[in-house]
């Protein structure tokens, strides 16, 4: 049952973050922030959708990793086995998460670059 609760938390949090990103990019402050860092292509409807999609993926990944490690720690609370094994497992999970996050960021930047290159000046 805990796995189902964890999945629901991750899913809902991902949707909330994606919605917040969309609202922020539609606001005056969000538009100013996007322009100030040179991401004008995020101000288009396609850019907002891309930002929402990738923020949802990143949130799910990070929250999933944190909740999984915390669940493992609470499951192992009363057990005594090699601390090195637990540290190695956690390090491996974090390395996978960091690599996946880097892939999400790279895909987002590639898509943002492609949107920027296909914009037609008026």
CB < 8 Å & 24+ apart, contacts of 39-48: 39/112, 40/116, 41/112, 41/115, 41/116, 41/119, 42/112, 44/115, 44/119, 46/115, 47/112, 47/115, 48/21, 48/22
pLDDT at res. 122:
46
Which token pair is 27?
């606001």
* Cα 80 from chain centroid (whole Å): 34
Neighbours of 31 (CB within 10 A): 15
pLDDT (tens, 9 = 90+) of the chain, 122 residues, equals 577 888 888 899 999 999 999 999 999 999 999 899 888 888 888 889 999 999 999 999 988 888 888 877 776 666 666 677 777 887 888 888 899 889 998 998 888 888 767 654 54
pTM of the complete model: 0.71
Residue that the structure tokens 């990143």 belong to: 58
Looking at 43-82, list the stretches that DSSP marks H as alpha helix, in order from N- to C-terminal side.
45-75
**Quick one: which of 104, 106, 13, 112 has its CA closest to 54?**
104
pLDDT at res. 119:
54
Q: Are 58 and 18 in contact (CB under 8 A)?
A: no
pLDDT at res. 7:
85
How many domains would you assign to the chain? 1
Structural domain of residue 51, as residue ranges?
Answer: 2-118
């Amino acid at each position: 049952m805990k796995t189902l609760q964890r999945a629901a938390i991750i899913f809902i949090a991902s949707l909330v973050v994606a919605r917040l990103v969309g609202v922020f990019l539609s606001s005056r402050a969000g538009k100013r922030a996007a322009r100030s860092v040179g991401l004008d292509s995020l101000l288009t409807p396609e850019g907002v959708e891309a930002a929402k999609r990738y923020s949802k993926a990143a949130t799910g990944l990070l929250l999933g990793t944190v909740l999984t490690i915390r669940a493992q720690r609470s499951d192992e609370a009363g057990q005594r086995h090699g601390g090195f094994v637990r540290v190695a497992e956690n390090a491996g999970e974090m390395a996978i998460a960091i690599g996946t996050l880097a892939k999400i960021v790279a895909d987002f930047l590639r898509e943002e670059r492609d949107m920027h290159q296909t914009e037609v000046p008026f």
